[in-house]
Amino acid sequence: MVKPRTFAIRTFGCQMNEHDSERLAGLLVADGLVAAANDAEADVVVLNTCTIRENADLKLYSALGQLKALKESRPGMQIAVGGCMAQKDRGSILERANWVDVVFGTHNLAAAPSLLRRSASEGPLMEILDAPDPVTSRDMAPALYAARELGFAAWMTIQTGCDNTCAYCIVPSVRGGEISRPMGDLLAEASMLATSGVTEITVLGQNVNSYGRDITGRRPLFAELLRALGEVDGIERVRFTSPHPKDLRPETIRAMAETPNVCNQLHLPLQSGSNRVLAAMRRGYRVERYVEKLEAARAAIPDLAVTTDLIVGFPGESDREFDETLEVVAACEFDLAYTFIFSPREGTRAAQMGDSFVASEVIKERFERLKDVTDRSALRGHRARVGLREEVLVEGPSRRNDQMLSGRTRQGKLIHFPVSDAPLRAGSLASVDVTYGAPYYLLGELHEVLRAPRHKVRVPLLSS
């Protein structure tokens, strides 16, 4: 009997890339490969790349350098590079790393298995589409979802691409304009996921609350989608990321408030608290409008957790403008803030603003001041939850302490609690009493197991 070839996927970047890796793993499984425990044991290693995060190219070529030595010791091993960096850099990857076998872009992920097969006899191959293939970009077959890392939770992409023109962002260049999937396809996928034991779905898109605008030609359909997903039997939690503040509409807020299965969690990227900087970023809203929408969401949705994104050191940001950001962030009392140091991306408007780049030492000092403000808000919010009883979806043992279990509340907050005498597997639902609050997590004690897991064990993936 011929031993099947094995594969490993290493993922860089955002949730969209993580979901693409799940889909790719499913394609490879469907092509007869099996998952390996690590790179060293894999016959095929795929790097699913990001170009948004800082030093993305450095991380890619560092990983490829490590794999070169491994490949030299393992005849027949193949290396593939996909994702946003592959879409952007194209042929230069094969020029800089001639030991790579396959390069494929964001629009032709489905072609990866056939490219790997062809490369075994034809040599290095590159295939980059500039727009999605209308056939292969349709919904993936249900078999692909056997490759999810967490069997009880699933990503679901509702749109690809982005129609916004944020000055710092390369996404429209590497993923194209917005294309929404038909709602019927999404609901069918959600039902299939529920049948397989998934109880939590996270909806993905570059700008989820504009979903469906390209279908209707005018009006987005995101509120209707949220309500429909909330009615899928077996799906207990629905989350989404990321919305754009300028497109957060009243009907979406009402859908969140009125659909019990939609979690009381909202990620609303602010990016800056300065109106001038927001205009330079081409964000399409002012601080006052952002705060107005945030207040409307909090008024309508009980116990709403709000997280945000913030960029420090955008070109031209003055000391006073940064102080404005500190003031707005303190007033908003975010539950968590993802703070990023500005990093120019070739091909964006901001990359051409070199004359007004902020000095690195100034950015570092600002970053620490901003972190202090966001951490204080998060700590106050978490301490206020001590004494509450939370519904927790168990994710498994804590990464740092195998005597503790970790899970997520409906607000998306990470909570750790001691292992109980009764087995409590990943995917279980439990009620946990909060006993302690830190800036980034909660501690608690198990009160009651509400239900057992409903899923089967899934294939592990690698992350970077």
Distance of CA 213 to the CA centre of its chain: 22
pLDDT of residue 42: 92
Q: Output the six-digit token pair for 82.
A: 């996909």
pLDDT of residue 145: 45
Q: Is residue 192 in a domain?
A: no
Which whole number is the average pLDDT over 132-142?
Answer: 47
Please give the residue that has the higher pLDDT: either 460 or 415. Answer: 415
Cα separation, 169 vs 177, whole angstroms: 13
The rounded radius of gyration (Å) of the Cα atoms in the chain is: 22
Indicate the residue type of 450.
L
Question: Residue 80: pLDDT above 70?
Answer: yes
Question: Residue 172: pLDDT above 60?
Answer: yes
DSSP structure class, residue 334: -
Q: Is residue 417 in a domain?
A: yes
265: nearest Cα among 413, 365, 106: 413
What is the band of 53 on the pLDDT scale with cuts at 50, 70, 90? low
Cα separation, 458 vs 174, whole angstroms: 30
What is the band of 129 on the pLDDT scale with cuts at 50, 70, 90? confident
pLDDT of residue 144: 43
pLDDT of residue 138: 42
- How many residues make up the chain in this entry? 464
DSSP structure class, residue 456: -
Q: Are strands 389-397 and 429-437 parallel, antiparallel or unpaired?
A: antiparallel
Cα separation, 75 vs 368, whole angstroms: 48
Strand order in the sheet with 336-341: 265-267, 305-312, 336-341
What is the band of 133 on the pLDDT scale with cuts at 50, 70, 90? low
Number of Cβ within a 10 Å radius of residue 32:
11
Q: Is residue 217 in a domain?
A: no
pLDDT in tens, 10-49: 988 777 888 888 888 888 988 889 989 888 889 999 999 8
List for the chain the helix, strand, coil content (%; round to 5): 40, 25, 40
Indicate the residue type of 22.
E
Please give the residue that has the higher pLDDT: either 20 or 144. Answer: 20
Last residue of a domain, one of 127, 162, 193: 127
Whether the CB-CB separation of 225 and 212 falls below 8 Å is answered with yes
The domain that holds 45 is classified in CATH as 3.40.50.12160
pLDDT of residue 19: 82
Q: What angle do CA 416, 408, 440 make, to 5 degrees?
A: 60
Q: Is residue 140 in a domain?
A: no
Tally of domains in the chain:
2
Q: Is residue 285 in a domain?
A: no
176: nearest Cα among 149, 214, 140, 122: 214
The domain that holds 451 is classified in CATH as 2.40.50.140
Please give the residue that has the higher pLDDT: either 225 or 17. Answer: 225
Last residue of a domain, one of 94, 127, 160: 127
Q: Output the six-digit token pair for 343.
A: 């990093």
Question: Residue 141: pLDDT above 60?
Answer: no
Domain, as residue range, for 114: 6-127
Question: Residue 136: pLDDT above 50?
Answer: no
The pTM is what?
0.84
Question: Residue 276: pLDDT above 70?
Answer: yes
What is the band of 417 on the pLDDT scale with cuts at 50, 70, 90? very high
Phi, psi of 290 (to 5 degrees): -60, -50
The label of the residue with tokens 């300065």 reads: 274
Please give the residue that has the higher pLDDT: either 258 or 65. Answer: 258
Q: Is 303 helix (H, G, I), strand (E, B) or coil?
A: coil
Residues 6+ apart with CB under 8 A from 313: 341, 342, 357, 358, 362, 363, 366, 367
Q: Is residue 303 in a domain?
A: no
Which whole number is the average pLDDT over 235-249?
Answer: 95
Last residue of a domain, one of 86, 111, 127: 127
Cα separation, 333 vs 324, whole angstroms: 15
pLDDT in tens, 367-413: 999 999 999 999 999 999 999 999 999 999 998 898 999 999 999 99
Question: Residue 124: pLDDT above 60?
Answer: yes
What is the band of 84 on the pLDDT scale with cuts at 50, 70, 90? confident
Cα separation, 256 vs 266, whole angstroms: 9
Residues 6+ apart with CB under 8 A from 239: 200, 201, 202, 203, 262, 263, 265, 412
Cα separation, 237 vs 252, whole angstroms: 16
Q: Is residue 99 in a domain?
A: yes
pLDDT of residue 456: 64
Kind and range of the H or E run holding 309: strand 305-312
pLDDT of residue 346: 82
Q: Is residue 56 in a domain?
A: yes
